Chain A
Amino acid sequence: MSIILSLLLLQAPHALPGETAVDPYVADNRHAGAAPFEGDGMARAFGGQEGIRRIVDRFVAINFADPVIGEIFANHDQVRLKRTLFEQFCFILNAGCSYTGRDMASAHKDLGVQKADMNRLVETLQRAMGEEGVSFPAQNRFLSKLAPMRRDVIEN
């Protein structure tokens, strides 16, 4: 049963119901852009899947409303972004998820993200993590996984 389910997930919809269609791609955890943490310490520091879900929802909401980087998100599928970001964070934090979104370079292609935008994004994420009560050292540990992705995210 689970094999059939995973086959279905692999082949089919790259976008789930309620999301805008995207060009086909093959899902792969490596697209998350970082190896997951070992053990469950980081997952617990982020309040498990429920905490991660709240952080992602808040993070996405802050970004869409942000005066500096809001316009980069303006035409994005917020529903899909929340799902794929949740999967990515949950996978990296080793909280029991697979990542089915696109790789970082494809997902950010032609967005025109500059270094200052990336730093702003770090600040909005810090805000979302802080509101959920994630400790500063745990926040930075997570950011250390995201930081090397900058070369795929920004426009060179």
Chain B
Amino acid sequence: MTYVRPLLIIALTLAAVSPQQGMARPIRNGGKLLLTNGITSLEGASGGGLTPWAVIAGNETSDGIGLSAHGTLVEVKDYDYQSAGVAIGIRDRIELSYTHQDFNTNEIGAALGLGKDFAFSQDIFGAKVRLAGDLVYDRLPAIAVGIQYKNNNQGAVVRAVGAKSDEGVDYYASVSKLFLSRSILLSGTARLTKANQMGLLGFGGGKQGGHTLQFEGSAAWQLSRRIAIGGEYRRKPDNLNIAREDDWFDAFAAVAISRNVTATIAYADLGSIATVKKQRGVLLQFQTAF
């Protein structure tokens, strides 16, 4: 039952955009420039590591259907995090994604009374549509809107810490542009969300129950065809009474190891998580895309 709504949203999205695809030419393979599909953000949307960009998953242009898969590992001071997921990019227009997140509280779980190695999990179904523009070629930047339906598996626990719900939907809009003359990519995202720590600590809380508007951004500098470095910022809501939530930052290097594999390493500062401050550490990701 919980999956009915995301599936419905995805089906409606497909129905809404399918007429224009009926006119399109036959499918062909391959075609995006290296790194221009981005990496996979924590919640499964293509973009940077912390925030979506207005790009579509996979290596295909408007003449193809692309796929990507990723695995991400984040090791901060007191917690471990892993996520893995898949995405399909249809004609460089529509992106549908699924990601499963695991957040392990290690020793902190015991201190919080949840038990050592207590883990929160979450499933995220995402859909993104590039409305207009192009990351590389056109004067108009790429512009996309997206939604993320998130379902946390620890309903009783997240309610016990003060969350209003174990499921929620984020809505976002992204604008992204690679400025070739400077080899710099800039991307900004506005997100409506009620998620606590992306939803891993549930949705809404005593300080703030509903959706709030948050801003996120990435800046990347392309050093060569295969290497880009940059930084990201993600503003976060602060909904829960018992645990302050901080904004996120990272500094990353992404390498196109081959046409189909992108590896990313980042230093991330995730601030205070579940009452424990200064959660800083390393983010690693491998993404494969076709």
Residues of A at under 8 Å CB distance from B? 68, 114-116, 118-120, 122-123, 126, 136-137, 140-141, 143-144, 147-148, 150-151
Contacts and interface: CB of A to CB of B under 8 A. Distances in A.
Contacts of A140: 180-183, 222
A119 B61 contact: yes
A7 B262 CA distance: 55
B180 A147 contact: yes
A115 B31 CA distance: 7
Contacts of B32: 116, 119
B64 interface: yes
B62 interface: yes
B63 A141 contact: no
Interface string B5-42: 00000000000000000000100101111000000000
21 contacts: A68-B30, A115-B31, A115-B61, A115-B62, A115-B92, A116-B60, A116-B61, A116-B63, A118-B137, A119-B31, A119-B32, A119-B33, A120-B31, A123-B33, A140-B180, A140-B183, A141-B181, A144-B179, A144-B181, A147-B137, A148-B138
Contacts of B139: 148
Would you list the 4 A-B pairs with minimal beta carbon distance, nearest first? A116-B31, A144-B180, A144-B181, A115-B61
A111 to B, nearest CB: 14
Interface string B181-213: 111000000000000000000000000000000
Interface in B162-184: 179-183
B64 to A, nearest CB: 7
Contacts of A123: 33
A93 to B, nearest CB: 14
Interface of B: 25, 28, 30-33, 60-64, 92, 136-139, 179-183, 222-225
Nearest to A118: B137
B224 A116 contact: no
Contact of B61 (A114, A122, A151): A114
Secondary structure of the B contact surface, majority rule? loop
Most interface-central of B31, B62, B182 (chain A CB within 10 A): B31
A136 B183 contact: yes
Contacts of B30: 68, 116
A71 B187 CA distance: 37
A110 B288 CA distance: 35
Contact of A136 (B28, B181, B223): B223
A121 to B, nearest CB: 11
Most interface-central of B137, B138, B225 (chain A CB within 10 A): B137
A115 B137 CA distance: 10
B184 to A, nearest CB: 9
Most interface-central of A115, A122, A137, A141 (chain B CB within 10 A): A115
A114 to B, nearest CB: 5
A72 to B, nearest CB: 13
Most interface-central of B60, B63, B136 (chain A CB within 10 A): B136
A136 B31 contact: no
A137 B137 CA distance: 17
A135 to B, nearest CB: 10
B183 A137 contact: yes
Given A140-B222, A143-B180, A114 B136 contact: no
A126 to B, nearest CB: 6
Contacts of B222: 136, 140
B43 to A, nearest CB: 28
A28 B62 CA distance: 33
B2 to A, nearest CB: 38
B56 to A, nearest CB: 12
A15 to B, nearest CB: 30
B31 A151 contact: no
